[in-house]
Amino acid sequence: MGFFAAILSLIGTGQIAFTGYNLYLSSIAIPKLLSYEDKAVKAAKYSNIAEEQLFKTRTTQAASVGSLLLTLLTAIPFLLLRYSSGSIFLASTVNLAVLIATGKYVGDFWKGKAKMPIPGTGDFNDAIGLTNEIRENEYFLAMSWVAYGVVGLLA
């Protein structure tokens, strides 16, 4: 195994581990949000704003999980099999674009969300914090794909 191949393996292993961690955080955040789903659905029947908020909550969580799964499903085969420099660069570029777009989409909705100082909303507040942590981590994953793509071109 050459030097650049070893670096690719290290980056790929880090991506898989960090993606797994973020999927774990999502597995905590989503049930916390789902615990408010019934109330949100009832409110959405009477308010367009509540309906829009419910839709955005669902779609931002789905987009985040989807981008993490894409990273995982790309990084695992790259770790196990050999690919051409062009394939590595293309997949790195796609993952970079998806993670940045997802981070922006999720951030546009969740970044400004204030935590509610109301009794009984602790789980919702926790979910906001977890979602923002995942969003920030997606940018680190995006940068790891830049590194992976560059090293892949050198390998």
pLDDT digits 0-9 by tens, 25-52: 999 999 988 887 777 777 777 777 777 8
Does 67 have pLDDT greater than 90? yes
Task: Tell me the two tokens of residue 76.
Answer: 């695992």
Residue 149 burial (C-beta neighbours within 10 Å; 0-12, 13-18, 19+): buried
Per-residue model confidence (pLDDT) at position 48 = 76
How far apart CA 42 and CA 63 sit, in angstroms, is: 24
Among 66, 65, 91, CA closest to 78: 91
> Domain tally for the chain?
1
The band of 139, judged by pLDDT with boundaries at 50, 70 and 90, is very high
Residue 119 has pLDDT above 60, yes or no: no
Region 41-66: mean pLDDT is: 84
User: Which structural domain, as residue segments, surrounds residue 138?
Assistant: 3-154
Q: What's residue 25's pLDDT? A: 97
Residue 38: the pLDDT is 76
What is the pTM for the complete model shown?
0.89
